[in-house]
Structure 1
Amino acid sequence: MIDVTGSARPLEGRAIGVLIESDYYEPEIAYYQHRFPEEGAETRFLTRLWGQASLTFTGHEYRAPLVCDTDFESDMEAVLDSLAAVIIPSGMVADRLRYTDDVGVLPPATEFLRRAFARPDLLKGIICHGLWLVAPLPELVRGRHVVAHNNLHGDVQNMGAIYVDSDVVVDGDLVTARTGAHCHQFARTIIDLLSGRPPVFAPDARIPALAG
């Protein structure tokens, strides 16, 4: 694929991490599996492996299996070092990953997200119900422009974020999208930002496109 600048596969050698658990929205995940590699990026699925070598998750619609063997918990900083972007997908993924053994301790997935937000050069993408994972740390999105599924409008308000009625919203290093059905616009926006192009689906983006 050739982009508008004439560069073949502009994301060659980069990796985009996608958190995964069961009850994922299969059309969204399948789209990431082929769309990011079209631009040269690896789609890397990450989860909490609970000490296992791998886990097999099933989708929400057809119970399709997806094997994940990359653990975000064992060495969070090393995993983050290897990524250009990290995505919290739709479906029940965020709800399953926000489980914590001790309610006095952050869920490991939210701790991973906290560390991701501490890196302004790392693009964060949250789509649909993925915003659930932010609930234990609302300060991550407080005062920032976001969109989420209509069912989470109250959650957005309670987190102190600024709801924007748009299918895709870019606020700095954060990209949000309305539903899993908007994964095409969401993925294209992430690709545009990582490629240093103005995002087609978020013309009101509040920062210049991320490059490098």
Structure 2
Amino acid sequence: MSSQSLKGKKVAVLVESQYIADEIAQYRDRFAEEGAEVHFLANLNGSPFLNLVSEVEEVGHTPKLLTVTRDIRKAAPEDYAAILVAANYPSVRLRHFVPPDGPDGRPLPITPEMVRTSPAVQFFSRAMRHPEIVKGMLCHALWLLTPTPELLAGRKVICHEVVLADVLNAGGVYTPHPSGVVVDGDLVTGRSFLNVSAFIERIKERLVAQGSATAPATPATPEPRLSAPPEPGTGRQRSVLVVLSNHGYWGEELVGPLEVFERQGYRVEFATPNGRRPEALPPSMDAGYIDPPLGRSVTSPEMALKVRQLDSTGPGRSERSRMLDAPLNLSELLPERPYFSHPMMVRALEAYYRERDAALRAFERFDALLLVGGSGPIVDLANNQRVHDLILGFLKQGKPIAAECYAVTCLAFARELEDRRSILRDKHVTGHCLEYDYKDGTGFVGTDFNMGPPPYPLEYVLRDATAPEGQYHGNFGKERSVIVDYPFVTGRSTPDSTLTGEKLVEVLEQGLRRWGW
């Protein structure tokens, strides 16, 4: 392999105590020899650095120290061409989590969702959604993937026999190989530390083979850097963050704009309030479902099939369905504003703003924001302070924000504490009109949840929020209703999904600032 063949690429190594010192040294030296920049990441738990101790059985029982200054919580997988997990027991430590206490102060029963809350588990799960990122897991490292078995199911792997039962139970396909290394597309696995040399070579080969398909690296920094929207002709791939409810999204309102973004070659990432995989509302996958307000079906058989394919989590599901497996967790990435009854309110509020501003830097790599509709957003997005902060962050950067259906309510309620005026003041928007509102028992059909009718008519909220010089446009009786009043792109309901995505693309590519009224 030619010298400097990896120049400009960044490699992340997730590590914890009980690492193998020689393995870590090989990652640092051999990737650097090819021009790559190697970052060691750990969960710093709020500290500026962490001293990790190597395996105590090494070098005559004398451990070595590794000082790590990069925090997994502040890192973005998309910044790296390759992400590796150290061998031995770091994966056990990396996936550790503390069960939350219940109302009585006792730990709550552990659920499958809890075991996914480790920052390292979430970080690597995000990386698994991006085939352009090479993932490397050696020896015991696959333990970091077993909390999210849907990401391991069907993948050809090799590992240490100690973790084999867990890997098989998670659906991994154990594939012995004389070299001790198995390559399955973007996933490279090795049996043990003794195979580290071949393991590194296979990862190098994958990185070189990808060539220009890997996103260009950014300069080294302990904090996420500002990623400005690409200028025409720069060749940088645009990126859209899509926020979905954990109480159900309407299928077409995701599929429509998603297909537009994919045709445009955009990178798409997903986020939910609690980091769990979002689910489509059952009626949005059923072409035979009669929408009560309209008295007819609003979902074609073709669209119903597309939504079912994207929503599927069962055996034999398509690669496309894995897109939603590991969304960003807004409750982990953004701080919660303190109660005003806090005994040290001024200091607590100062800390909140400081943490919020630092956290929002991790979202600067996105060029636009989309909030997907359905009845679910009324429950966990509309009055979600973290969602409001995310919207305000995009607004301050001057980046476009699109919202559909009931999710437009998030824009009406997003406002700074200083003046508490809606960001929609004097703007023109559309959104779910009163004539289309659901009634008690019809908003969450097919789910085990029901909150009755919408707690507030969205149309009335938007009419008040856009006053005095703006206007709400219901366009009742018209097939389509999409409004562009920069930086906002709003879509009324399901039939407007694709058009909402198209207008967002026009805003990004052609500088569209006003359309639809």
Instruction: Sort the TM-score into its range (normalised by shorter chain).
Output: 0.7 to 0.9
Indicate whether 1:139 and 2:136 are aligned. Answer: no
**Distance in 1 of aligned mates of 2:91 and 2:132:** 23
Aligned counterpart, 2:86? 89
TM-score normalized by the length of structure 2: 0.36
**Structure 2 counterpart of 1:81, which letter?**
E
Aligned counterpart, 1:73? 73
**Structure 2 counterpart of 1:14, which letter?**
K
Please give the residue correspondences for 1:32-181 in structure 2 after superposition, counting only pairs within 5 Å.
32-60=27-55, 61=58, 62-74=62-74, 76=75, 79-102=76-99, 103=110, 104-105=113-114, 106=116, 107-166=118-177, 167-181=180-194
CA contact (8 A) 1:117 1:140 kept: yes
Q: State the shift of 1:101 in Å.
A: 2.1
The 3-state SS of whatever aligns with 1:73 is helix
Q: Give per-residue Cα distances to partners, 1:120-147, cap 9 Å, x unaligned.
A: 1101001100011112101111011000
Q: Give per-residue Cα distances to partners, 1:149-187, cap 9 Å, x unaligned.
A: 022221221111110112111111100000011111000
CA contact (8 A) 2:84 2:135 kept: yes
Aligned counterpart, 1:206? none
Paired residues in the alignment total: 191
**Distance in 1 of aligned mates of 2:50 and 2:123:** 19
CA contact (8 A) 1:11 1:194 kept: yes
The 3-state SS of whatever aligns with 2:6 is coil
**Structure 2 counterpart of 1:174, which letter?**
L
CA contact (8 A) 1:145 1:169 kept: yes
CA contact (8 A) 1:89 1:180 kept: no
**Distance in 2 of aligned mates of 1:146 and 1:26:** 24
Quick one: which of 188, 203, 218 aligns to 1:190? 203
Q: State the shift of 1:80 in Å.
A: 1.6
The 3-state SS of whatever aligns with 1:95 is helix
Indicate whether 1:25 and 2:20 are aligned. Answer: yes
The 3-state SS of whatever aligns with 1:136 is coil
**Distance in 1 of aligned mates of 2:120 and 2:163:** 19
The 3-state SS of whatever aligns with 1:100 is coil
**Distance in 1 of aligned mates of 2:78 and 2:174:** 30
Q: State the shift of 1:27 in Å.
A: 1.5
**Distance in 2 of aligned mates of 1:141 and 1:147:** 12
The 3-state SS of whatever aligns with 2:183 is strand
**Structure 1 counterpart of 2:159, which letter?**
A
RMSD: 1.3
The 3-state SS of whatever aligns with 1:52 is coil
Q: State the shift of 1:81 in Å.
A: 2.6
**Structure 2 counterpart of 1:47, which letter?**
A
**Distance in 2 of aligned mates of 1:211 and 1:174:** 17
**Structure 2 counterpart of 1:173, which letter?**
D
Q: State the shift of 1:93 in Å.
A: 0.4
The 3-state SS of whatever aligns with 1:43 is strand
**Distance in 1 of aligned mates of 2:184 and 2:123:** 20
**Distance in 2 of aligned mates of 1:211 and 1:100:** 37
**Distance in 2 of aligned mates of 1:118 and 1:81:** 10
Structure index of larger Rg: 2
In the alignment, structure 1 segments of 5+ residues that lack a partner are 197-209
CA contact (8 A) 2:14 2:42 kept: yes
Q: State the shift of 1:8 in Å.
A: 3.7
**Structure 1 counterpart of 2:37, which letter?**
E
**Distance in 1 of aligned mates of 2:68 and 2:119:** 17
Q: Give per-residue Cα distances to partners, 1:79-104, cap 9 Å, x unaligned.
A: 22321000011111000011112344
TM-score normalized by the length of structure 1: 0.86
In the alignment, structure 2 segments of 5+ residues that lack a partner are 100-109, 213-517
The 3-state SS of whatever aligns with 1:187 is helix
**Structure 1 counterpart of 2:120, which letter?**
A
The 3-state SS of whatever aligns with 2:13 is strand
